[in-house]
Structure 1
Amino acid sequence: METERLDHAAEVKRLVIENARRHRMDDAEVYVTYSSYGGLRIRVVHPALAPHSENDRREKLLSGIDVEIAELLTPEEKEWYGPPFSEYDIPIPAWADVLERSESSEALRFASDLDADIGSPVIITFYSLRGGVGRTTALASTARILAARGRRVLCIDMDFEAPGLPYLFGLSEPTSDTGTVPLLLSLEQGESPDIRDHVVRARGADELYCLPAGRLDVDYAQRLRLIDPESWYRDSPNPLHALLDLAKESSLAPDIVLIDSRTGISAISAPLLFDVSDLAVICFFPHTQAEAGTELLVRSMLSAKTRRSSDTYNISPEPRFLVTPIPPGPSAQQVRDKALTWIDSWLSSVDDRRSAEVGNLQGDELTHFISYAPEVAFRDQVALTSTTHEVYGPIADWLEQLLPQSNQSSIVESVSKSDILNQLDFSTGTAEHQESFFEDFVKTKMSVQAMDPRYPLVIGRKGTGKTAVFRWLFEKAESRPIPVVAPNAFRDRAPWSLGARGFSAVERRLGARNADWQTFWTCYTALAAALSLASENITPADSPFDLTLQDLTSKGSRLDELDIVEAISKMIEDSEAALKASRWLRQMDDILKTEKFLLFDGLDTGFGNDGESRKRREEAVTGLFTFLTEIESRLSKLAFKVLLRVDIWQQLRFENKSHLYGRSIQLLWRDQSDYFKTILKQAVRSEAFKRALGAAGISSDVDQWQEPEVFRAWNLLVGERMKGGKTTFTRNWVWNRLADGQGDHGPRALSQLFHAAVDWEVREEVRSPYDRSYIRPRALVPSLESVSTEAVQSLHEEFPELDGLIHALETVGRTPLDPSEISGVDPEATGELDLALEVGLLAVHEGTVEEVRRYRVPDLYRHALGMSRRGQA
């Protein structure tokens, strides 16, 4: 729509010029723009118009043109009309015009989406449709925090009808000739005032300045009547633009300008929100009366074009939401959920206008909640206290992240970016197939505990590192462990390890001999120990069964599952098999000189994935733990280490399960620093990146890094801040999006993300070079799609019973969603909701685990499922 209007204005100007030339006015001054009412406004100036009447002038110059306002003037008449209006390249930012354009189909881009920093100062408007939501207090508190952080901040009071910002800083009334209103009128008259004569420095702040609205007296009221924001865009110069330029060019040179806007649909709030602001903090409480108006405001902002727009990009003002005051008590969460539902609904309408490179907007990342606090609400002045930092610090973080980043280009240039990109190689496979596994393995407090003999059970969700622990112990432990059950990739070195077919055959043999799984594990573990010790040239104790170990060991790698199944079958034919096998295992324990682990991994998928196989797994693993709890105290050298998926462990029921309380380790990546070390340790395999770290004064010994070194190296690799949307730290963006519904993280997903990001950066660097980090933050956004695809595929493979639910989610196509929406697609799929919560495919969005009103699909899975984020009232 806007493009059509601009094209029309250009065509009209061309016709006017042609008409002027036809009547020998080749050098006529011609100006064309839109009026605040949507029609065209034209001005033509030329001496040859002097002898002609108004009708003659229109007939000569406006032939074939339909126009409402035409100023056809001589140079002398021009003096009476004043300077020419500005041919503004976008429509006037008035409420009527912007609301009319609230549905746009153009690509939505913010200043923060650009790879390059935006120029200072960053302009922020604090706005509320209604009063009483703490807007001015939020602005003043945020300003205090930013100034305390060393930022130069200018606060401008443009709530002209109810000014009050200076009082929150403890400032006295300004003089009658100073303030925003007198300053704007002076600029409108073409004068050249000094903004420093109108600005007051806040007491107790290093670089915090306030521009009051003016002194509230009779003169102020008369001046206020002369303020006509719409006229600023019809004449030149524009006093609002001139005021901000004055601040920028003066010795104040603020980093950030915070503007306190009038509430409601006022004439002054429109240009503040829709033209000059890089970001607007929209303050509201989710009362029904505020919903429609705030929604219309947000949609209008997302269709507006700011002053930063250029020939290359149209830039829209970026919305953030401050929900306040949140009431105390149990209703607080309901208020938060309601607000986020609204915001997600408003933002989801522009999903198709956001490119994959910048990603969609997410309500929870653009919203901050402030609880009601009487000590804040009734305070006359804003003080810099610990409460102020805690409550308003996140808003300051939002704004500070829009400022120009520290220049790292000299570091990037010190080592060839192409060399680093060519050398970076992030693993996308599992731990058992990772060639550089030992170089990349990160020793954390969690992993060290997982390898401690005192903890026989290690549980974790898929991808959290269980097999990494197994591989480290299997290949690096000082005393070579005994792999009783091993993942497929290691079965050539543990040929006695059974797989799905072997366990299925064992189940049949057990049934035929009326034996149980506990007996099987006793016999199987003793047999595996004997075979493993023999392969190390350690003579195991003599078998109490009719077995010839030499026949089995002589087969070497040719030993197969059938050999083991048949050997165990012979063992369980003995009515005292469990007792004899237990004694045999203790005898081997006695001959050992050092401690050895009995390793059990691959149980998650080792039994198969169909319903019958999962039932077999549950019974078999229950038997394993019954065996473990009975025998482990009788062993001194052999220590159990069972690695199991957490959802399987939670489903098990067996006597003495409580004996493992406090003796298990759950692999949880809850520390960002440890988590990001897993990717940085892979990065330092690049010699070029090592040199880049050295140039930045960072050692390449990742295991010795503390948190500051981790984040400095991370920023060098992928940049400090994301672009677009939240404008958040890259580490928080990655952390939030790679979390499953339980809030857990897997290193494999992080490796997959960076593998895809390197490929994307290599392609993009050819088209658009970038020198602030070796991988630009924007590369992470499209790369998330491939990670999500891998995550959903993994669910299909490991949890086939979720296929119906996954299909239902794809069909619904949005999140959050009600249980009824799932049952409407496939009633049987609701039977898997509990499992979906356990494995992190879903999270509770509203309600409790016992009574879920709405579910949420985390970003890790949402993208691959093709689900948009659409709130529901």
Structure 2
Amino acid sequence: MNPEQSDADAVKRALEQNGLNSGVADLRVHIARGMENGWRVRLVSDSLAGLSDVERRNLLLSGLEGQVEAAELLTSAEEEWYGPPPREVEGALPVWSDALGQSSNLPLLFASDLDEDIVSPAVVTFYSLRGGVGRTTALAAAARILASRGRRVLCIDMDFEAPGLHHLMRLTEPSPGQGVLPLLLALERGDEVDIRDHVQRVSEAEELYCLPSGRLGADYAQRLRLLEPENWYVEESNPLHALFDLASVSSIQPELILVDSRTGISPISAPLLFDISDLAVVCFFPHPQAQLGTELLVQSLLAARTRRSDGVRTISPEPRFLVSPVPPGPSAGRVRERALTWIDSWLAKAADRRSLDVGALQADELTHSVSYSPDMAFKDFMEVSPAVDESYGPVVDWLEQLLPQSSSQGTVRLSGKREALRELNFSRGQAEVHENLLDDFVKTRVAIQASDSQYPLVIGRKGTGKTAVFRWLLDRPGGDPPVVVMCPHTFRNRFPWVLGVEGFAAVDDALIARGAGWSRFWACYTALATFLALPRRPETTPPLRFKIDVDDFVQPGHTDELFVVETVIKMMEDAQAGLLAARWLRDLDKSLPAPRFLLFDGLDTGFGNDVASRNRRTEAVAGLFTFLTEAETRLENLSFKVLLRLDIWQQLQFENKSHLFGRYVQLRWRDQADYFKTVLKQAVRSRAFQAILTDIGIASDVDAWRTEEVFQAWNVLIGERMKGAKTTFTRNWVWNRLADGQGDHSPRTLSQLFATAVEWEMVERGSYDQSVIRPRALVPSLEQVSAEAVGALHEEFPELKAMVDALEVVGRTPLVPGDIEAVNPNALEQLELALEVGLIAVHEGTQEEVRRFRVPDLYRHALGMTRRGQA
């Protein structure tokens, strides 16, 4: 028995003893918590008939005057007029006096942590301690975006002292007697009401509704004085609960109810935040004046127990933070960083209340910032636009996480799940060794452009799919194969004339000895490689001046790297070698009956990784483009296609580089649906998984899927939402964590993530039936993918070793340049490259003046780095 209950029992016994001492027979005692520190009691006995109220109090409350806050001393006949007695309340009341002094050691659980979906509607309160932070604007924007996504939304304006939500919705003034305020008072009186009489529809085209506060005027002010939210929690009937229950069962059937709460410590805001809400969007600007108050608010939210509690598990209102309005310019980063630092410190106090299954609370996962916009600040009404969606779309994502799983997803039969798991086979390796790459290749708009002859150059950062494009162009069905001039090492058995590290070093020595440039080499080498790749024809024999014996090419084992290097060096001895080779290439071009590509890949690593090799590569590739720009206009059937890493392209300096502007394709995965198709194409090779998709009406042709079908299939594979602190859609969680510091995504890491997740799920073997792989498999799988990503970085950029080692020692992100310098000053020389390849990113400041860096999750885990605020 808790102390509070003991106190109640003691007061009850004292009241009963007073009745016995006073001769009051058959005394019936009802006791409930008061609104302050006392008790509300009702004492009923017909022995009180004929006594005044003062006489009754003297008889029954003797010695309890300081403990009884309110007393009803009645006969049974009088009780009929009073209605039900005060309601007994367990625990703290959702009022500010209780909330601000409350703490909790109970496990901290949110509605979005639950494996099962919560019953709609989900309730979200937008709140701020101070005005001027865009609270109502944020609610109106979120409501508009939700409605545009097909959601049924009811907005309730409970900012009674300064109503105005209906203006932002472009609605007319409510009629007299219409609105939340008169509705609550009617419910308090016990009147029969229809909430639809008070609701306005915002648009006939969308399921968006608004319940305004009421019509301003003398009558409104008088009604506002009658509102006593704190008393609702000690009365038998709670009009606030009744209001939300009416909304839930009405024909409106909202999926989400968005509440605009009064600013500050107002009586109505406490029950909205601590009792009604599943999620509270706390809007604030990190000014020192707001720090203490917002901290107390957060602690109160984390200690509160919502109305949705089931009596077994305590469910708290889930906090989200909207930092607004962030000023433009260099101070923006400092404002955001200060807010995140504050929030991290507030959340850290509840760290030990979160289970490992749901994870710790992290500020950057619960916070969104909105930059100041004059257009937004002075809007007369809210409507959806690209700017609004960009600013408030992340807020809408928070709200949608509370909604039930997509009905089209259904459940996955356990037998089908186990069979699908056995059949799923995701590639762990690079595109060079991906067995089913032709089947799995995603024909995105950029990939199709990369296959177009009008784009001679395809560039991309490490892992974005350049070699996948190479393999697609090389082995795709239909048409004549390309002429492979350069390729990754894995394919050199198929194309023995392709040079490697030693071959290029020998060529470099020969060029230096002759005072010749790399463009001459490329002319000779490209013509020779084309000759070797094409069928022999009399009109395509080498120029006599090259003194090449064609019979040598047919000798067993002759066409290898050494033979090719010697042949090319011999060709370059002629003073006009470049012109002769260009003419030979044109002859080869004319002999072709149909167009083909001259394909160059493997330039990134084909020269080696030491400093001398990288310098050689820079000069050689610049020479290649010099040759390309001179030769391409004279070729009719042969088209250049060079696949090159972006950082190499950016370092190149050569004449007429501008001639390639607008004529190259950059491989970037900017569309989630396209990116996820790279694993879904692998998944549909499983007949069991394909059967599950067929059951929900999704065909097996992944390339033909619409975006919504991609996300449906994704949900079947890995689930719609993460759980716990990482309450986000799985697709957003994966998208954000597999991005490097430049925001680029690698299909390889996505495939590795799912290969690891399948292994995890096979071991787990639980009864989870909402997806083939449960979402939480992604968390431990990311750790392994991070290790593989760092390993690939070491292999491709060994010069970053000092930087990687320094980051491991620093052990925390974000970090300042001085942190790296303190470990190894030489590592700072690699900052530019580390930024370029996405190992780090600018966290605060500009590219020219960086104040702080961050390490993306893709690399952070393997480097053993924690985020700010974590232990």
**Take 1:228 and 1:742, find their aligned partners in 2: how far apart are those partners?**
51
CA contact (8 A) 2:460 2:644 kept: yes
Report which stretch shifted further, 426-435 or 348-357. 348-357
Report which stretch shifted further, 752-761 or 724-733. 724-733
**Take 2:600 and 2:165, find their aligned partners in 1: how far apart are those partners?**
67
Report which stretch shifted further, 213-222 or 860-869. 213-222
**Take 1:670 and 1:292, find their aligned partners in 2: how far apart are those partners?**
40
CA contact (8 A) 1:16 1:30 kept: no
CA contact (8 A) 2:485 2:498 kept: yes
Alpha-carbon offset, residue 128 of structure 1:
1.0
Q: Provide the residue aligned with 1:480 in structure 2.
A: 481
Q: Provide the residue aligned with 1:50 in structure 2.
A: none
Q: Provide the residue aligned with 1:470 in structure 2.
A: 470
Q: Provide the residue aligned with 2:832 in structure 1.
A: 834
Equivalent of residue 864 in structure 1, options 855, 862, 865: 862
Residues 418-438 of structure 1: per-residue CA shift (max 9 Å, x gap): 222322222221111011111
Equivalent of residue 341 in structure 1, options 334, 337, 341: 337
Alpha-carbon offset, residue 603 of structure 1:
1.2
Residues 450-487 of structure 1: per-residue CA shift (max 9 Å, x gap): 23333322211111211112212222363233322221
One-letter amino acid of the structure 1 residue matched with residue 655 of structure 2 = E
Equivalent of residue 182 in structure 1, options 182, 185, 190: 185
**Take 1:871 and 1:332, find their aligned partners in 2: how far apart are those partners?**
26
Residues 370-394 of structure 1: per-residue CA shift (max 9 Å, x gap): 7455797585xx5768699767676
Alpha-carbon offset, residue 644 of structure 1:
0.9
Q: Provide the residue aligned with 2:51 in structure 1.
A: none
One-letter amino acid of the structure 2 residue matched with residue 520 of structure 1 = F
Q: After superposition, where does 1:208-357 map in structure 2 within 5 Å?
A: 208=209, 210=211, 212=213, 224=225, 227=228, 229=230, 240-241=240-241, 244-245=244-245, 247-248=247-248, 254-310=254-310, 313-325=313-325, 331-334=327-330, 336-349=332-345, 350=347, 353=354, 355=356
**Take 1:30 and 1:790, find their aligned partners in 2: how far apart are those partners?**
70
Report which stretch shifted further, 79-88 or 666-675. 79-88
Distance verdict in 2 for CA 1:566–1:377, change over 3 Å: closer
**Take 2:511 and 2:387, find their aligned partners in 1: how far apart are those partners?**
68
CA contact (8 A) 1:358 1:778 kept: no
**Take 2:167 and 2:660, find their aligned partners in 1: how far apart are those partners?**
62
One-letter amino acid of the structure 2 residue matched with residue 306 of structure 1 = T
One-letter amino acid of the structure 2 residue matched with residue 475 of structure 1 = D
**Take 1:173 and 1:388, find their aligned partners in 2: how far apart are those partners?**
36
Q: Structure 1: where are the runs of 5+ without partners?
A: 1-5, 18-28, 48-67, 187-191
**Take 2:769 and 2:868, find their aligned partners in 1: how far apart are those partners?**
34
Distance verdict in 2 for CA 1:255–1:445, change over 3 Å: closer
CA contact (8 A) 1:127 1:283 kept: yes
One-letter amino acid of the structure 1 residue matched with residue 489 of structure 2 = N
**Take 1:522 and 1:107, find their aligned partners in 2: how far apart are those partners?**
71
One-letter amino acid of the structure 1 residue matched with residue 315 of structure 2 = I
Q: Provide the residue aligned with 1:399 in structure 2.
A: 399
Determine whether 1:425 maps to 2:425: yes
CA contact (8 A) 2:178 2:214 kept: no
Q: Provide the residue aligned with 1:130 in structure 2.
A: 130
TM-score (norm 1): 0.79
**Take 1:816 and 1:77, find their aligned partners in 2: how far apart are those partners?**
70
**Take 1:817 and 1:416, find their aligned partners in 2: how far apart are those partners?**
47
One-letter amino acid of the structure 1 residue matched with residue 757 of structure 2 = A
Residues 165-200 of structure 1: per-residue CA shift (max 9 Å, x gap): 6777521343899636636755xxxxx554537961
Alpha-carbon offset, residue 809 of structure 1:
3.3
Q: Provide the residue aligned with 1:801 in structure 2.
A: 799
One-letter amino acid of the structure 1 residue matched with residue 333 of structure 2 = D
Residues 209-229 of structure 1: per-residue CA shift (max 9 Å, x gap): 537489976997698588363
Q: Provide the residue aligned with 1:629 in structure 2.
A: 629
Residues 528-567 of structure 1: per-residue CA shift (max 9 Å, x gap): 33433469999854774455554554334x8654444444
**Take 1:777 and 1:536, find their aligned partners in 2: how far apart are those partners?**
60
Determine whether 1:615 maps to 2:618: no
Q: Secondary structure at the match of 1:767?
A: coil
Q: Provide the residue aligned with 2:116 in structure 1.
A: 116
Q: Provide the residue aligned with 1:822 in structure 2.
A: 820
CA contact (8 A) 1:32 1:87 kept: no
Q: Secondary structure at the match of 1:758?
A: helix
TM-score (norm 2): 0.79
Alpha-carbon offset, residue 112 of structure 1:
1.8
CA contact (8 A) 1:457 1:641 kept: yes
Residues 608-638 of structure 1: per-residue CA shift (max 9 Å, x gap): 2222221222122223223333334444444
**Take 1:438 and 1:209, find their aligned partners in 2: how far apart are those partners?**
52
Distance verdict in 2 for CA 1:15–1:683, change over 3 Å: farther
**Take 1:536 and 1:806, find their aligned partners in 2: how far apart are those partners?**
54
Q: Provide the residue aligned with 1:767 in structure 2.
A: 766
CA contact (8 A) 1:34 1:91 kept: no
One-letter amino acid of the structure 1 residue matched with residue 818 of structure 2 = S
Task: Give the aligned length.
Answer: 823
Determine whether 1:639 maps to 2:639: yes
Distance verdict in 2 for CA 1:181–1:662, change over 3 Å: closer
Distance verdict in 2 for CA 1:36–1:264, change over 3 Å: same
Alpha-carbon offset, residue 796 of structure 1:
1.8
Report which stretch shifted further, 636-645 or 77-86. 77-86
Q: Secondary structure at the match of 2:328?
A: helix
**Take 2:386 and 2:580, find their aligned partners in 1: how far apart are those partners?**
68
Alpha-carbon offset, residue 695 of structure 1:
2.9
Q: Structure 2: where are the runs of 5+ without partners?
A: 13-27, 46-65
**Take 1:10 and 1:592, find their aligned partners in 2: how far apart are those partners?**
95
> RMSD across aligned C-alpha pairs, in angstroms?
4.9
Q: Secondary structure at the match of 1:319?
A: strand
One-letter amino acid of the structure 2 residue matched with residue 428 of structure 1 = R
CA contact (8 A) 2:426 2:751 kept: yes
**Take 2:746 and 2:387, find their aligned partners in 1: how far apart are those partners?**
36
Q: After superposition, where does 1:710-749 map in structure 2 within 5 Å?
A: 710-723=710-723, 728-749=728-749
**Take 1:197 and 1:139, find their aligned partners in 2: how far apart are those partners?**
21
CA contact (8 A) 1:299 1:346 kept: no
Equivalent of residue 786 in structure 1, options 779, 784, 787: 784
Alpha-carbon offset, residue 122 of structure 1:
1.2
Q: Secondary structure at the match of 2:194?
A: helix
Distance verdict in 2 for CA 1:135–1:598, change over 3 Å: closer
- Identity, in percent, stands at 54
One-letter amino acid of the structure 2 residue matched with residue 848 of structure 1 = T
Residues 712-759 of structure 1: per-residue CA shift (max 9 Å, x gap): 444444445555567555444433433333332222222223323333
Q: Provide the residue aligned with 1:521 in structure 2.
A: 522
**Take 2:84 and 2:588, find their aligned partners in 1: how far apart are those partners?**
104
Alpha-carbon offset, residue 105 of structure 1:
7.8
Alpha-carbon offset, residue 401 of structure 1:
4.6
**Take 1:536 and 1:490, find their aligned partners in 2: how far apart are those partners?**
26
One-letter amino acid of the structure 2 residue matched with residue 663 of structure 1 = R
CA contact (8 A) 2:184 2:243 kept: no
**Take 2:818 and 2:463, find their aligned partners in 1: how far apart are those partners?**
31
One-letter amino acid of the structure 2 residue matched with residue 670 of structure 1 = R
CA contact (8 A) 2:157 2:180 kept: no
**Take 2:624 and 2:551, find their aligned partners in 1: how far apart are those partners?**
27
One-letter amino acid of the structure 2 residue matched with residue 805 of structure 1 = M
Q: Secondary structure at the match of 2:609?
A: coil
One-letter amino acid of the structure 2 residue matched with residue 485 of structure 1 = M
Report which stretch shifted further, 268-277 or 528-537. 528-537
**Take 2:856 and 2:539, find their aligned partners in 1: how far apart are those partners?**
51
Q: Provide the residue aligned with 1:675 in structure 2.
A: 675
Report which stretch shifted further, 392-401 or 672-681. 392-401
Determine whether 1:202 maps to 2:200: yes
Q: Provide the residue aligned with 1:171 in structure 2.
A: 174
Q: Provide the residue aligned with 2:439 in structure 1.
A: 439
One-letter amino acid of the structure 2 residue matched with residue 342 of structure 1 = R
**Take 1:660 and 1:144, find their aligned partners in 2: how far apart are those partners?**
44
